[in-house]
């Protein structure tokens, strides 16, 4: 069973999974694993998802094997953007009303440190090496640059009104920030930290996601009700994804989170109060299916094996689990109040 070691990595107590690298450690690790497998006899591929609950000021830790909440961590006020550090050791969560980003130790599952973000941080992104963090600060029209190793602020970049969506190009050279009231995607050169281009999109752009091959940038517009497909080299909108759901008024379709499969063939778009995830064929930019999830769906994260996609449903206080291959919702997990962001251990 080739899949067992992988399962061990995720399911073992963190000190063993993360640090022990000696032969003795390996031995112990395998032994423990065998015991664990024998004890629980659970199927392979368990992952840990962290869900930020905007209203309850908590982070729910979800076990993707049992699909249950394993732990609830108390964090600061109004947690929204949430992401693992690249090394998988920490979970960073933006607590907007406390004007900071908290770091949760993935081993102890407790808040251990804070990062010096600007006021009201919401979403953030990091470079491929996991050294630099870029934070959108909604309240003062800036993006804050943070050195993740020193946990120190390196500087600010002035952007449009209410910066929100953040992503970085696969080569790490271009940072994308979307500003909600300016309605633009700002292209920022990570070397000079200067804006090199601004692309106008539809109203209230909230989230940006690159294709893995860097050929396209997708930006969702919550109030505009569309996803703009941008050519990142030409800095131009080359297409738009439109949504139409029979029996649902247009205003209820409010695209937010976007998830792109590793082969870049399929995109999943969260449609907010439309309570659906749109499955989009990226070649034709047409919706092939709408999956009914919980109420006011915000964001999503794939399990690393890409078997499942988990979505946060703000109003119904739950997380929907989508079987990616079957394109079906298979499970709903109750979490805290107003779940917003989600990240899954690498």
Partner 1 sequence: MIRWLVGLIGLALATTQALAADSIEIGVGYLGVAGTRSTLSLVEQPAQNDGVAGAKLAIEDNNTTGKFLNQHFTLEEHRIKEDEDPVRTATALAEKNDFIITDLPADALLKVSDALRDRGTLLFNAGAIDERLREADCRANVIHSAPTRSMLADALGQYLVWKKWSRWLLVVGSHDQDKLYADALRRAATRFGAKIVQERTFEDTGGARRTDSGLTLIQRQIPVFTQQAPAYDVLVAADESEVFADYLPYRTWDARPVAGSAGLEPRSWDAAQDQWGATQMQNRFMKLNSRRMTALDMQAWTAVRMIGEATSRTNSGDVKKVTDFIKGPDFSVAAFKGTRLTLRDWNLQLRQPILLVDGRMVVSVSPQEGFLHQVSELDTLGYDRPESKCKLK
Closest CB 181 distance from partner 1, rounded Å? 6
Nearest one of 221, 220, 225 to 268, comparing CA atoms: 220
**Could you list the residues that contact partner 1 (CB under 8 A)?**
120, 138-139, 141, 160-162, 179-184, 186, 195, 198, 200, 203-204, 223-225, 249, 251, 273
Give whichever of 152 and 200 is closer to partner 1, judged by the CB atom: 200
Closest CB 340 distance from partner 1, rounded Å? 13
Give whichever of 114 and 198 is closer to partner 1, judged by the CB atom: 198
Q: Strand 194-200's sheet: what is its strand order?
A: 163-168, 174-179, 184-189, 194-200
31's enclosing H/E stretch is helix 23-40
Give whichever of 200 and 236 is closer to partner 1, judged by the CB atom: 200
Burial tier of 116 (Cβ tally within 10 Å: 0-12, 13-18, 19+) = middle
Give whichever of 11 and 201 is closer to partner 1, judged by the CB atom: 201
Strand 174-179, strand 184-189: pairing: antiparallel
Give whichever of 179 and 220 is closer to partner 1, judged by the CB atom: 179
Closest CB 67 distance from partner 1, rounded Å? 31
Q: Strand 121-126's sheet: what is its strand order?
A: 121-126, 132-137, 142-147, 152-158
What's the CA gap between 190 and 199, in Å, rounded?
17
Closest CB 160 distance from partner 1, rounded Å? 6
> Is-contact 168 176, C-beta < 8 A?
yes
Closest CB 167 distance from partner 1, rounded Å? 19
Give whichever of 181 and 332 is closer to partner 1, judged by the CB atom: 181
Nearest one of 100, 93, 90 to 79, comparing CA atoms: 93
Closest CB 148 distance from partner 1, rounded Å? 26
Closest CB 270 distance from partner 1, rounded Å? 16
Cα end-to-end distance, the chain, whole Å: 21
DSSP 8-state secondary structure symbol assigned to residue 36: H
> Is-contact 74 97, C-beta < 8 A?
no
Give whichever of 183 and 282 is closer to partner 1, judged by the CB atom: 183
SS3 162: coil
């Amino acid at each position: 069973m080739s899949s067992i070691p992988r399962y061990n990595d995720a399911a073992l107590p963190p000190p063993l999974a993360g640090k022990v690298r000696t032969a003795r450690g390996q031995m112990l690790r395998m032994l423990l694993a065998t015991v664990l497998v024998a004890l629980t006899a659970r199927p392979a591929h368990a992952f840990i998802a962290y869900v930020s609950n905007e209203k309850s000021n908590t982070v729910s830790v979800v076990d993707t094997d049992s699909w249950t909440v394993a732990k609830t961590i108390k964090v600061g006020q109004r947690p929204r953007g949430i992401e693992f550090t690249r090394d998988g050791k920490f979970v960073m969560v933006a607590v907007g009303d406390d004007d900071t980003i908290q770091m949760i130790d993935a081993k102890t599952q407790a808040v251990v440190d804070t990062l010096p973000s600007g006021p009201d941080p919401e979403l953030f992104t990091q470079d491929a090496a996991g050294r630099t963090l870029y934070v959108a600060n909604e309240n003062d029209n800036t993006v804050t640059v943070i050195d993740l190793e020193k946990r120190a602020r390196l500087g600010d970049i002035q952007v449009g009104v209410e910066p929100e969506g953040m992503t970085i190009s696969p080569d790490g050279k271009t940072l994308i920030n979307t500003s909600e009231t300016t309605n633009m995607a700002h292209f920022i050169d990570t070397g000079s930290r200067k804006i090199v281009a601004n692309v106008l999109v539809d109203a209230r752009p909230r989230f940006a996601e690159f294709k893995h091959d860097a050929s396209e940038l997708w930006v969702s517009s919550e109030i505009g009700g569309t996803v703009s497909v941008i050519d990142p080299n030409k800095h131009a909108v080359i297409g738009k994804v439109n949504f139409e759901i029979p029996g649902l008024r247009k205003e209820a379709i409010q695209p937010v989170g976007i998830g792109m499969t590793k082969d870049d063939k399929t995109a999943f778009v969260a449609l907010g109060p439309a309570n659906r995830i749109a499955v989009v064929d990226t070649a034709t930019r047409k919706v092939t299916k709408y999956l009914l999830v919980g109420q006011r769906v915000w964001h999503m994260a794939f399990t690393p094996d890409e078997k499942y996609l988990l979505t946060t449903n703000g109003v119904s206080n739950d997380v929907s689990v989508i079987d990616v291959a079957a394109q079906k919702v298979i499970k709903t997990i109750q979490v805290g109040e107003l779940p917003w962001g989600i990240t899954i251990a690498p």
